[in-house]
Structure 1
């Protein structure tokens, strides 16, 4: 169920090509060794970008159910490419819960504007398929009558819309909007207030008369793909929905979502260069971007400008774009488990530099030091092995940073290429930038190796 969603602009731009290709070289060079560089994306796949719990009704001092007239409220941050999903139990039942459909609730319109308003029409009553249904508020194993948690007859069924359920005792449930109201209020930036209200007149008409219909504490996630918590027509994933839908217990699902929350970072195509010792052809730490095309890679994963100019840069003897993942037939970013590879010839004294984007950011890129990596040691022996420790994350200083994967102008959320607030700061190690956001370590995203033949 783990899925990754990339921005349209990013996917469109990374496939751009230029006149140089991986076998460009200076014919006057007599190679001493042939090198192959592999750049592999090793970042863990995260199912959710944000997650959390709602368990204390507004005005209450401690966690508990939202009885008729009460509501849960919580804040979420979400980018244009993300959606909201949640699960809360319809108490007095065996295993019924409210939640959006498989796609979740979009928090932005197609034009990128944030939404505000009633979204109850995107919320449904589901049967978890884990416990045989009894008459709500009457059956001995409904949550308000059971002798203890997790009682009742196991069903081993599928998650279905309650309106499509045929197993167990039939019951005429009210319409969703007669029990619950869900609204989204845009606050500021990328922040939204989510309100889940148990309506004051929320009742269930049972054989023993009208009974109240409370809502349990629940869990929410902000996600990019579909089916984040369950799939209609399939069995429960076993990650904690059963505990919420049968007992209103958020413990297991909250632990699972917390463990699987974070940014899944792609890495963009890039450009490599072999150059003379003592030259900084791509950028210089502590100086503004040269304007040679590093900005295009750092902001959009767009290799066109730097790919076209790399062979004319100071000290460069060879250089080219790398943009097609190993085993793929077309250009694109490397997702977790995929890699780029390129090969070149070099001689003693040569250095290697390359740059490619840490996608989901505004202008952060991977790269060697500004002087590159020496391809031979002081004894003239060619370098081979894992060189990830010689790769750094850099801030290009060309666009104001926003929260990765959330900010509206990060590459996976922007509506078009080259958006965002311009800045003219120096190229800096990302570790020296204090923007208030969290970034991964290089070796948690990439593994870079070089092999000399």
Structure 2
């Protein structure tokens, strides 16, 4: 992976807390103690983008790419993502072409999109699921078998074909004599991918020369290591076998589609207890105060707002939240993890907080601008799920780009505070028409308040 999910700025500061009351002189009686849990309930998606390629250029229906034909498809990818794909070398039992462990990087080390022949990053693999026979000759090779999924089960591991030593081994041509893979940058974050079966793609067999087509396949855009298979380990059972043995993309295509989408962490943030009727952190429809919301909304950096807690309107107490429950180190909350904090409050107090919706440019998670009332009209402390009082806000400080893809989104930017200044007011994200799709709040965050 080119960079971690967050840079150091997203870690925030440790141990900042304050109060406007002097402990030695205060005669205020608190009315209750509260514990707040902010849990990330978003799905943890394995793939950012995925799809099937199954119709050669110029053909009117799905089918293999025979010598001289190619598959083409476009992908959108950010600087921290790579491309992986799987396509069968037809006429074999379970051989397939795919990139190696890291996938194919679509940006160079300087963050520039590439246009290049990347065939040297593609390898011929043995899926280890079916015993090999002589290509195009064996009775269970894909061109000769009586039906799909025939042949003797191998129960082996995914290996480079060049590393296979057990059973029958055959002299396959070099990869670049069968397949050509190229990446062409189109514009913005879009790339055209071409996977061509070369005009001279042939296999030498005991029965003479046979053509070597490519099957339909599946592609994914991902962060980190290649998530489709692991060299030296058995097939994951998600559909590689179906492609490698039969050129059937159904299972892997279904699996990747079900696990595709943006994963949304939440950054460290700041919480405050403020008096009713005050707007301590921001005001809807008004430009950001400049107290530190921008740094959280764009970079997950709590330093500025944390240092300004004492100066915020109506604030009685507050602190930075930056260490997930069960962790010893500051960091974002990924799906399945949470922040938790406890405080005292009295009737008339509200709770306000902000965290960055990571993978975006300047979207933050927060309460309304006046916060959540901690006591009902009868003076009883509230307790329960308050997610319906949590919103996604656009800070209006940086122009939005596609989440997790745009070059200045927090997971892709080259440094803190990049991106085009926007100079707009803070507003609900649901009121922003930027052309991008966002999840609903309750599919990402769950917030509960417990009166102790």
The superposition leaves residues 314-347 of structure 1 with CA deviations (integer Å, 9 ceiling, x where unpaired) of 1111111111111111111011111111111110
Give how far 1:217 is off: 0.4
Task: Kindly report the root-mean-square deviation, in angstroms, between the aligned alpha carbons of the 2 structures.
Answer: 1.3
Structure 1 CA distance for aligned equivalents of residues 68 and 174 of structure 2: 17
**Do 1:9 and 1:415's aligned partners in 2 also have CA atoms closer than 8 Å?**
no
Structure 1 CA distance for aligned equivalents of residues 4 and 49 of structure 2: 21
Q: Secondary structure at the match of 2:6?
A: helix
**Which residue of 1 is the match for residue 230 of structure 2?**
231
Give how far 1:263 is off: 0.9
**Do 1:396 and 1:427's aligned partners in 2 also have CA atoms closer than 8 Å?**
yes
Q: Secondary structure at the match of 1:222?
A: strand
**Which residue of 1 is the match for residue 343 of structure 2?**
344
**Which residue of 2 is the match for residue 318 of structure 1?**
317
**Which residue of 2 is the match for residue 300 of structure 1?**
299
- Of 242-251 and 7-16, the range deviating more from structure 2: 7-16
**Do 1:18 and 1:308's aligned partners in 2 also have CA atoms closer than 8 Å?**
no
Aligned residues: 448
**Which residue of 1 is the match for residue 9 of structure 2?**
13
**Do 2:57 and 2:71's aligned partners in 1 also have CA atoms closer than 8 Å?**
yes
Structure 1 CA distance for aligned equivalents of residues 335 and 366 of structure 2: 19
Structure 2 CA distance for aligned equivalents of residues 157 and 24 of structure 1: 63
**Which residue of 2 is the match for residue 57 of structure 1?**
56
Structure 1 CA distance for aligned equivalents of residues 364 and 351 of structure 2: 16
**Which residue of 1 is the match for residue 106 of structure 2?**
107
**Which residue of 2 is the match for residue 41 of structure 1?**
40
Q: Secondary structure at the match of 1:103?
A: coil
Give how far 1:11 is off: 2.8
**Do 1:68 and 1:198's aligned partners in 2 also have CA atoms closer than 8 Å?**
yes
**Do 1:18 and 1:304's aligned partners in 2 also have CA atoms closer than 8 Å?**
no
**Which residue of 1 is the match for residue 187 of structure 2?**
188
Give how far 1:102 is off: 1.5
Give how far 1:9 is off: 8.4
The superposition leaves residues 39-81 of structure 1 with CA deviations (integer Å, 9 ceiling, x where unpaired) of 1111111110000011111111111100011101100000111
Structure 1 CA distance for aligned equivalents of residues 6 and 139 of structure 2: 55
Residue 6 to residue 186, structure 1, CA distance change in 2 (3 Å)? closer
Alignment of 1:11-410 (within 5 A): 11-17=7-13, 20-21=16-17, 24=19, 26=21, 27=23, 28=26, 29-410=28-409
**Do 1:351 and 1:372's aligned partners in 2 also have CA atoms closer than 8 Å?**
yes
Gaps (5+ residues) in structure 1?
none
Structure 2 CA distance for aligned equivalents of residues 64 and 244 of structure 1: 13
Structure 1 CA distance for aligned equivalents of residues 344 and 280 of structure 2: 18
Give how far 1:16 is off: 3.2
The superposition leaves residues 244-280 of structure 1 with CA deviations (integer Å, 9 ceiling, x where unpaired) of 0001000000000000001111000000111111111
**Do 1:269 and 1:322's aligned partners in 2 also have CA atoms closer than 8 Å?**
yes
Structure 2 CA distance for aligned equivalents of residues 30 and 187 of structure 1: 64
**Do 1:18 and 1:307's aligned partners in 2 also have CA atoms closer than 8 Å?**
no
**Do 2:19 and 2:316's aligned partners in 1 also have CA atoms closer than 8 Å?**
no
Q: Secondary structure at the match of 1:10?
A: coil
TM-score (norm 2): 0.97
